Structure 1
Amino acid sequence: MNDALTLQGFLGRLNIRQMLAPLLIILILSMMVLPLPPFVLDVFFTFNIAISVMVLLVAMYTMKPLDFSIFPTVLLVTTLLRLSLNVASTRIVLLQGHTGPDAAGKVIEAFGHFLVGGNYAVGIVVFIILTLINFIVITKGAGRIAEVTARFTLDAMPGKQMAIDADLNAGLIGEDEARKRRATVAQEADFYGSMDGASKFVRGDAVAGILILFINIIGGLIIGVIQHDMSAGDAARTYTLLTIGDGLVAQIPALIISTAAGLVVTRVATGQDIGQQLVAQLFGNPMILAITAAILGILGLVPGMPNFVFLMLGSMLGFLAWKMMRKSAVSEQAAEAAAAEQLPAAVPESVEASWADVAPVDVLGLEVGYRLIPLVDRGQDGELLKRIRGLRKKFAQEIGFLSAPVHIRDNLELRPNAYRLTLKGVAIGDGEAYPGMYLAINPGRVSGQLAGTPTQDPAFGLPAVWIEAGLREQAHVFGYTVVDASTVVATHLNHIILSHAAELLGRQETQALLDHIATELPKLVEDLVPKQLPLSTLQRVLQNLLEEGVNIRDMRTIIETLAEHAPRNQDPLVLTSLVRIALGRAIVQQLYPGSNEMQVMALEPGLERILGQALQGGGEDASGIEPGLADTLMRETATASQRQEDLGLPAVLLVPGNVRWLLSRFLRRVVPQLKVIANAEVPDSKTIKVTTIIGATK
């Protein structure tokens, strides 16, 4: 009873699909050593032909090469199957060939007699031609393409990974999508590398087919004449026909498999299968069909030519061209009629102005030229619309509040490919984008130059080149970061939003943020605003944090700190400094992720005292600093910051808390990337290492 249950459980755990591949390999290998009856050989030969046809059809109907990623393994298995069948059929041919033409089964007999008319000389010629076509033309070409593609795919991997990282950092894609794209890049390299190796199996199979042919013929002659007392002519005719049939029944599936391999490695993924691409690109232009029909018609009128065939094909192509031109004309008329129906009605007489004519200014705006309209057209599912939605979501997750939506409209005053970014009605950024082309950005370490239109990356000002789509892979190989037109605009917009986050946090956004926090911390929010602190002061504190690149995601800490100190002080600058101290761990972690040591710049003690006195005498700005000192301070800070960045370190200046705000505002104009932090903001667990002292005596 227990044994039966154990056996039943074992059988239940067996997966038929998992067992199928090992069983098939074992069966193929066993055919090399075990004798097979003619009927079983017929079954396996038929199965081999069916598999080759299935592989060819799958290769034709796949949308992109990775859809058939198992193909290199299929090439190996089918090659092994053909060689096993050759060994099994050779054994039967040499053992039973003297008994008649059907000694090795009906399939070999049919290929040996029907396809070559029972003439073994013709059979040898046909077999050699098929083998040469397979070996020299198809397999060699497909192998070369696979080799070159594998090399370029491997060379382009770093550039593709950088492009994925750029999209991820810009908020255009999520972490899951980035992980999926990285896996696809790795799979492409593995696939073409495997195809390069698998093509060698097919070439070896073709060589083995020729050698097996001559070995079987020579072996058959020896066995027929010596062992079975056949005449040399009868032995040559009998064994040669059987060998030719055996070779053809294996070589034709090999030719089909090689053709499938060539189709897989030569096609370009466009979202269509080969049949759709063929019809759309080869027979899609009626003018080409008409010209071809005219040429065939002229050749059909030449005396001595096969007039009927040329005139028949020319008439068919001409009729097809006429039908396509007529269909195109009808479509254009329908489009014009539809456009005419959508024309606006006559403009009525002007009426008095009203408050409805006063349009509010958009907080964030994107104006595009007419050639960029498809990128933002909802009807065409514009790619830029999806990216903007992703940008706002990523901004909310990283910064801590939801920015105003981006209002998009076309502007005929702009150049066709130009766009303009506006903040509260004022232009703060512009650029150009070319749909269908790619922007190759030079990160500073490229290995070659590209043909295209030189420009600059509109977001960060890096040198770049607008290139055609065909140069994309070459740009990846050279080390460029390659992005499409929608990514260019989206990255520029993302940079603008992050740079002006403080201006995007208006009174309405602050109230919405409080309402959102109140769902989880109702009592804390209620005690702070408006009982202890006006909404305007809270907004000013949050804007001060955003101006210096500090996110406001930790609203619990911000509100608790303000609730603690607001009864004693209502000054936004003082409250901001206290909040920064409470957020010190997060601020330092953002600057030095995963490191316990902080390599920072610092001020000379005498300079600290002078700046402290200037702050007392000049208020919140730098008007109390002597001009010569201010110029020296800016120059030395810029030099030290550049030195820090050259070493791969963040430009961070550590100062006393009483001068932090003054220096941050003063130096930010000269060194935008500089972060000024106070001593009190550094957690006790961090080790401070001063790399440069600004103001020290030279």
Structure 2
Amino acid sequence: MADIQKTLRSAFGREKTDLLITVGVLMIVMMLIVPLPTWILDTMMSVNLMLAIMIILIVLFTNDPLEFSLFPTILLVSTVFGLALNVSSTRLILAKGEEFDGRIVRAFATFVVGAEGTQGIVIGAIIFIIIIAVQFLVITKGATRVAEVAARFTLDALPGKQMAIDAEYNSGLITDDQARKKKSDLQKSVDFYGAMDGATKFVSGTVQVGIVITLINVIGGIIVGVTIHGEPVTNALNTYTSLTIGDGLVSQLPTLIISVSTGLIVTRSVSDGSFGTDVKKQFSAQSRIYWITAVFLFFLGVLPGFPWYLLFPLSAMTGFMAYRLTKRKMIEEELAKTAGEQEKAEKDTPAEMSPVVPLDPLSLELGYGLIPLVDQDNGAELLDRLTRIRREAALDLGLVVPRIRIIDNMRLEPSEYCLKIKGVEMGRGAIRMGHFLAINPGGERETLEGEKTTDPAFGLPAIWITEANREKAERNGYTVVDPPSIVATHLTEIIKKHSSEIIGRQEVRSMLDTLKENYPAVVEEVSKVFSTGEIQKVFQGLLKEQVSIRNLVVILETLGDYGSVTKDTGFLIEKVRQALGRQICLQYAEEDNMLRVLTVNPEIEQRIVDSRMESATGVVAALDPRFQRQWINAVLNSVQEVQNLGYYPLILCSEAARALVRSSTERDIPDLVVLSVPEIAQNISIESLGEISFEWKES
């Protein structure tokens, strides 16, 4: 009930605010059409002045220009509001003439000007012209130029800043939410300065319109006063000129304040505090400027003709400020020296080590010669690839890969890199910067000039070539890759092969918690039967054979179906694979939904099933060593024949034998795919390419 009341109050508050703003905007439009009484005009002019003061105060106290991202829109609304007031005041001045009783306009025409009569008119006209000139030629023009440059530079710097955010994210300095927020703030900054570039034109347009309205008011007032009201020309000139200047001053003062606000907000793009905080910090950074200023003021006071009674006190005040700043600087240096000595003493004292030394889930160590691959000044191509690798792993395997920490390792050769999972090296390679790797995918190719090597990801023969030979290599059928692609491909293969080692209990718990938001019944049912560790073992068993765990709902529902029967991990993995049968088949099927497979001789398959033995890590095939050697040789020969035909080697066997066939070949043929008959989906066709068989005689 409390949440419902809170929601209703929030919705009502929003509707109330929206209603007030809508009414305000409609009133501004109506002011252009409907004549206003003078007391309403005075009220609106006071509100306009109040809003201008509030705007400049918000700008002064804002730490970041984006905190006042509404400013461009406010600028437009205030501009229209001021023009509406100009139209309303002009209508009343021309209609009433000497009988015009607007207090705000009269006050600006007399009190603000400081004189009455002809002298007041002249002074008011001069002040009005000065304000217009300052606004148009100085503030507005400068703010417009700054806004244009800020918008252009912000847009030009966008790609580099986005790459910097990706680099921080990939190195583990910021989280995914922080990276997303930083990119959102960056986009808002671009939008803000782009909007400010156009919004500054509102201010300059208001100044120009103010000049036109003033001339129209004076000329129109004289015409109305002489021809309609029958006033003498001199009287009409004094009356309408005085009221027009008062009206011009009362309308241009808020515009001047808003112009200053515009200049302030576009010139403070590099600020990290409020205007007052920045002034205090930057004007108190150096004491020498106050010493020099104090001496200069004292020197001026000594010279004849200068007001020494003003310059000497100012010199003394500036000198006192210089003394205070110098003293504070000395105290800060002393404190810094003491802190440095204390820190050095703490370093010399043996520190108590933490009982836990954390390891990075994934890390990429680079020799110093490969630093340009992740250097922002050189494009940092590898950082973009790492982001895509994590995204592709999530889509292909259903595994959210932890952030990949990039480390420079001086113990590596300059051109070497090393890939580690939880601190253990899983792969290593060498890169020749400025060269390309031409990989021979198979078959006879024209020999290329270059250094022979081996592709670190797949172990294929390759050659390091220069840019000049790249086109020739591509024409001859070589696969040509650049250094960032080499590292990225190697890392991708490492992640795929060792994905079962990457996923831990914490990752599984995070996946379950996220899934629980949309499928609470499934997660709760499975969590009652299985522990997080038991679910993790099932996930690891699937990932070990490159089966995606992205379809978590089907996996958990299958575990829920058989959880009351058994908790045997091997049995559960087989049942989950069967539930994901269509997904697994489509992963290896040809375009015509055809699976071309190898089958196993029934007698050999039965012997493998009979050798089943339970171990701590699951079921294994405890085959006779001689039988094992002949079995592996037969499988290798059959796989080679299938590959020569241009097909991916797959073995199809019974459900009882699948896990055992896989375990018996895992060490010698780790990438071999073994499917069981129940995993084959209905719309998948099967074509047998041969049978794995060999003669075996008992000794």
TM-score range normalised by the length of the shorter chain = 0.5 to 0.7
Q: Residue 111 of structure 1 aligns to which amino acid in structure 2? A: F
The separation in 1 between residues aligned to 2:202 and 2:72, in whole angstroms, is 10
**2:102 maps to 1:105:** yes
Q: Provide the secondary structure at the position in 2 that maps to 1:286.
A: coil
Shift of the 148–338 alpha-carbon distance from structure 1 to 2, 3 Å rule, reads closer
**2:263 maps to 1:262:** yes
Shift of the 357–26 alpha-carbon distance from structure 1 to 2, 3 Å rule, reads closer
Cα contact 1:42–1:105 (8 A) shared by 2:
yes
Q: Report how many residues are paired.
A: 534
**2:644 maps to 1:656:** no
Write the mapping of 1:114-193 to structure 2, written as runs, cut at 5 A.
114-118=111-115, 119=119, 120-147=121-148, 149-150=150-151, 187-188=188-189, 190-193=191-194
Write the mapping of 1:189-228 to structure 2, written as runs, cut at 5 A.
190-228=191-229
Displacement of 1:242 after TM fit? Answer: 1.7
Alignment-derived partner of residue 69 in structure 2: 69
Shift of the 429–92 alpha-carbon distance from structure 1 to 2, 3 Å rule, reads farther
Shift of the 323–91 alpha-carbon distance from structure 1 to 2, 3 Å rule, reads same
Cα contact 1:601–1:654 (8 A) shared by 2:
no
Displacement of 1:248 after TM fit? Answer: 0.8
Q: Give the structure-2-normalised TM-score.
A: 0.56
Displacement of 1:85 after TM fit? Answer: 1.7
Q: Residue 107 of structure 2 aligns to which amino acid in structure 1? A: A
Displacement of 1:212 after TM fit? Answer: 1.0
Q: Provide the secondary structure at the position in 2 that maps to 1:114.
A: helix
The separation in 1 between residues aligned to 2:103 and 2:577, in whole angstroms, is 88
Cα contact 2:359–2:423 (8 A) shared by 1:
yes
Shift of the 95–677 alpha-carbon distance from structure 1 to 2, 3 Å rule, reads farther
Cα contact 2:542–2:573 (8 A) shared by 1:
yes
Displacement of 1:180 after TM fit? Answer: 6.2
Q: Residue 286 of structure 1 aligns to which amino acid in structure 2? A: Q
Alignment-derived partner of residue 434 in structure 1: none
Residue segments in structure 1 that go unaligned for 5+ positions in a row: 1-11, 349-355, 369-390, 431-491, 530-534, 638-652, 670-674, 694-698
Displacement of 1:133 after TM fit? Answer: 2.6
Task: Identify which range, 223-232 or 176-185, moves more after superposition.
Answer: 176-185
Alignment-derived partner of residue 684 in structure 1: 681
Displacement of 1:277 after TM fit? Answer: 2.6
Cα contact 1:29–1:84 (8 A) shared by 2:
yes
The separation in 1 between residues aligned to 2:492 and 2:270, in whole angstroms, is 30
Alignment-derived partner of residue 58 in structure 1: 58
Displacement of 1:232 after TM fit? Answer: 4.0
Displacement of 1:290 after TM fit? Answer: 4.2
Shift of the 171–267 alpha-carbon distance from structure 1 to 2, 3 Å rule, reads same
CA deviations over 1:467-499 (Å, ceiling 9, x no partner): xxxxxxxxxxxxxxxxxxxxxxxxx99999887
Displacement of 1:80 after TM fit? Answer: 1.9
Cα contact 1:286–1:322 (8 A) shared by 2:
no
Displacement of 1:621 after TM fit? Answer: 6.9
Q: Residue 48 of structure 1 aligns to which amino acid in structure 2? A: N
**2:24 maps to 1:42:** no
Displacement of 1:53 after TM fit? Answer: 0.4
Alignment-derived partner of residue 29 in structure 1: 29
Write the mapping of 1:458-469 to structure 2, written as runs, cut at 5 A.
none
The separation in 2 between residues aligned to 1:177 and 1:247, in whole angstroms, is 50
The separation in 2 between residues aligned to 1:508 and 1:180, in whole angstroms, is 25
The separation in 1 between residues aligned to 2:634 and 2:165, in whole angstroms, is 46
Displacement of 1:324 after TM fit? Answer: 3.1
CA deviations over 1:89-131 (Å, ceiling 9, x no partner): 22232233345xxx34232223223333443333323222322
Shift of the 87–412 alpha-carbon distance from structure 1 to 2, 3 Å rule, reads same
Alignment-derived partner of residue 80 in structure 1: 80
Displacement of 1:318 after TM fit? Answer: 4.1
Q: Residue 249 of structure 1 aligns to which amino acid in structure 2? A: V
The separation in 2 between residues aligned to 1:502 and 1:169, in whole angstroms, is 21
Displacement of 1:78 after TM fit? Answer: 1.6
- Overall identity of the aligned pairs, in %: 34
The separation in 1 between residues aligned to 2:168 and 2:321, in whole angstroms, is 46
Shift of the 227–499 alpha-carbon distance from structure 1 to 2, 3 Å rule, reads same
Alignment-derived partner of residue 278 in structure 1: 279
The separation in 1 between residues aligned to 2:84 and 2:171, in whole angstroms, is 55
Cα contact 1:111–1:249 (8 A) shared by 2:
yes
Shift of the 496–322 alpha-carbon distance from structure 1 to 2, 3 Å rule, reads farther
The separation in 2 between residues aligned to 1:28 and 1:586, in whole angstroms, is 63
Write the mapping of 1:490-505 to structure 2, written as runs, cut at 5 A.
500-503=498-501
Cα contact 2:60–2:274 (8 A) shared by 1:
yes
Q: Provide the secondary structure at the position in 2 that maps to 1:40.
A: helix
Cα contact 1:292–1:317 (8 A) shared by 2:
no
Write the mapping of 1:302-341 to structure 2, written as runs, cut at 5 A.
303=303, 306=306, 308=308, 312-334=313-335, 337=338
The separation in 2 between residues aligned to 1:346 and 1:179, in whole angstroms, is 41
Shift of the 556–234 alpha-carbon distance from structure 1 to 2, 3 Å rule, reads closer
Cα contact 1:366–1:420 (8 A) shared by 2:
no
Shift of the 332–549 alpha-carbon distance from structure 1 to 2, 3 Å rule, reads farther
Cα contact 2:419–2:491 (8 A) shared by 1:
yes
Residue segments in structure 2 that go unaligned for 5+ positions in a row: 1-11, 366-389, 429-489, 512-521, 609-626, 654-660, 690-699
Q: Residue 50 of structure 2 aligns to which amino acid in structure 1? A: A
Q: Cα RMSD over matched residues?
A: 6.4
The separation in 1 between residues aligned to 2:668 and 2:237, in whole angstroms, is 100
Alignment-derived partner of residue 89 in structure 1: 89
Cα contact 1:52–1:257 (8 A) shared by 2:
yes
Displacement of 1:323 after TM fit? Answer: 2.2
Alignment-derived partner of residue 477 in structure 1: none
Write the mapping of 1:434-473 to structure 2, written as runs, cut at 5 A.
none
Task: Identify which range, 555-564 or 285-294, moves more after superposition.
Answer: 555-564
Alignment-derived partner of residue 489 in structure 1: none
Alignment-derived partner of residue 19 in structure 1: 19
Task: Identify which range, 71-80 or 253-262, moves more after superposition.
Answer: 71-80
Displacement of 1:54 after TM fit? Answer: 0.7
The separation in 1 between residues aligned to 2:41 and 2:231, in whole angstroms, is 26
Structure ID, larger Rg:
2
Alignment-derived partner of residue 300 in structure 1: 300
Alignment-derived partner of residue 254 in structure 2: 253
Shift of the 624–330 alpha-carbon distance from structure 1 to 2, 3 Å rule, reads same
Task: Identify which range, 167-176 or 542-551, moves more after superposition.
Answer: 167-176
Q: Provide the secondary structure at the position in 1 that maps to 2:112.
A: coil
Q: Provide the secondary structure at the position in 2 that maps to 1:656.
A: strand
Displacement of 1:249 after TM fit? Answer: 0.7
Cα contact 1:59–1:264 (8 A) shared by 2:
yes
CA deviations over 1:147-192 (Å, ceiling 9, x no partner): 5555666677788888889999999988877876676566555544
Q: Provide the secondary structure at the position in 1 that maps to 2:136.
A: helix
Shift of the 406–33 alpha-carbon distance from structure 1 to 2, 3 Å rule, reads closer
The separation in 2 between residues aligned to 1:133 and 1:357, in whole angstroms, is 66
Q: Provide the secondary structure at the position in 2 that maps to 1:272.
A: coil
Task: Identify which range, 492-501 or 220-229, moves more after superposition.
Answer: 492-501
Q: Residue 323 of structure 2 aligns to which amino acid in structure 1? A: W
Cα contact 2:593–2:684 (8 A) shared by 1:
no
CA deviations over 1:297-350 (Å, ceiling 9, x no partner): 5863784685745655554444334323423433444455567678469989xx
CA deviations over 1:367-398 (Å, ceiling 9, x no partner): 99xxxxxxxxxxxxxxxxxxxxxx9xx99xx9
Cα contact 1:98–1:224 (8 A) shared by 2:
no
Q: Give the structure-1-normalised TM-score.
A: 0.56
Write the mapping of 1:588-603 to structure 2, written as runs, cut at 5 A.
none
Cα contact 2:652–2:675 (8 A) shared by 1:
yes
